[in-house]
């Protein structure tokens, strides 16, 4: 009897898992990435003509799974299509307009170094992301997603960040600045 109950419970659980939804946190973060495009301004050369898509890149670990693709599907910003690309090497990611970097420690530092000079809005979530030279870092406060921006490093890359975005962000600087 007890054994049968256990089996039943197991299947119930399995069924619940099958229903499992994608991570809410990363759905929200995917929404943020799309929004960042609307409020950042790239140098004209980086954007190209209307046929050039705006690229949201993911470098390193991809915590979004297929969520990012789902979110940007069939969307346009200022007449540009938005596409998602995944990168293994930081040097290939220089073409991305917005780049989520799922890396930590020295790997992260190396990636940010390789991206230096390219007008790529770097986004991350590791604790040391801003200190390592990243521009936007997701933070979770009161169980809600917020973000920090280091305007200085964005400026260095030739990016302009809209006032509306800055108003909602926590403005930070990398250590030693």
Partner 1 sequence: MRMRCLWIYLAASLALALSAARSEDLTPDKTSTVKPPVKSDFGDLSIEELMNIKVTSVSRKEEKVSDTAAAITVITAEDIRRSGVTSIAEALRMAPGVNVAKIDSHTYAISIRGFQSGLANKLLVLIDGRCVYSPLYSGVYWDVQDTMLEDIERIEVIRGPGATVWGANAVNGVVNIITKHSKDTQGVTAALSAGTQETTIDSVRYGGKIGAAATYRFFVKYSKAEELGLAGSGLAAHDGWSVARGGTRFDIKASRTDSVIVEGDYYKGVHEEKQLLAQLTPPFEVGHTHDASMSGGDALVRWGHNLSDTSNTSLQLYYDHTERDELKLDQDIDTLDLDFSHHIKLSRNEIVYGLGYRRVRENLNQTFTAAFDPDGRATDLFSFFGQDEITVLKDTFFVTVGSKFEHNSFTGWEIQPSVKTLWRPAKDQTVWASVSRSVRTSAPTETDLRANLLASKPFFFLPPIVAALFPNRDIPSEAEYSYELGCRAQLHKRFSLDAAGFFNQYHGLRSNEAGAFFVERLPLPLHITVPITQQADMRGETYGGEFSANWDPIDRVKFSAGYSFLKILLHKDSNARAKDAEIAEGQTPEHQFQFRSLVDLPHNLQFDTAVYFDNRLKSIGFDSNKNEAIDSPSYTRLDVRLGWRPTEHLDLSVGGQNLLKTRHEEFGPGSSEIERNVYLKLTLKF
Positions in the binding site for partner 1 (CB under 8 A): 2, 5, 9, 12-13, 15-17, 19-25, 27-28, 30-32, 34-35, 39, 67, 70-73, 75, 105, 131, 140-146, 164-165, 168, 175-176
Ramachandran angles phi, psi of 153, nearest 5°: -75, -25
**Residue closer to partner 1 (CB basis): 17 or 78:** 17
Q: Give CA–CA dist 63/157, Å, rounded.
A: 26
**Residue closer to partner 1 (CB basis): 29 or 94:** 29
Strand partners, 60: 102
Q: How far is the CB of 44 from partner 1 (least distance, A)?
A: 25
Q: How far is the CB of 143 from partner 1 (least distance, A)?
A: 5
Q: How far is the CB of 94 from partner 1 (least distance, A)?
A: 25
**Residue closer to partner 1 (CB basis): 14 or 45:** 14
Six-digit token pair at 61? 């670990």
Nearest residue to 56 via CA among 29, 19, 22: 29
Q: Give CA–CA dist 174/131, Å, rounded.
A: 4
Q: How far is the CB of 147 from partner 1 (least distance, A)?
A: 8
**Residue closer to partner 1 (CB basis): 12 or 117:** 12
In the 8-state DSSP scheme, what is residue 130?
Answer: T
Which is it for the CA torsion 115, 117, 118, 124, positive or negative?
A: positive
**Residue closer to partner 1 (CB basis): 70 or 91:** 70
């Amino acid at each position: 009897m007890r054994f049968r109950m256990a089996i039943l419970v197991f299947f119930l659980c399995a069924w619940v898992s099958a229903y499992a939804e994608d991570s809410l946190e990363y759905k929200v973060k995917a929404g943020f990435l799309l929004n960042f495009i609307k409020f950042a301004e790239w140098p004209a050369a980086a954007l190209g003509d209307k046929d050039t898509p705006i690229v949201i890149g993911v470098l390193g670990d991809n915590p979004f799974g297929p969520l990012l693709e789902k979110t940007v599907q069939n969307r346009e910003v200022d007449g540009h299509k938005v596409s998602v690309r995944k990168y293994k090497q930081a040097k290939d990611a220089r073409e991305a307009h917005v780049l989520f970097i799922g890396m930590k420690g020295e790997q992260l530092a190396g990636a940010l170094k390789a991206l230096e000079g390219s007008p790529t809005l770097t986004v991350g979530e590791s604790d040391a992301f801003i200190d390592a030279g990243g521009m936007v870092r997701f933070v979770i406060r009161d169980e809600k997603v917020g973000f920090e921006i280091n305007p200085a490093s964005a400026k260095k890359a030739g990016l302009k960040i809209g006032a509306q975005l800055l108003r909602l962000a926590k403005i930070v600087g990398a250590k030693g600045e």
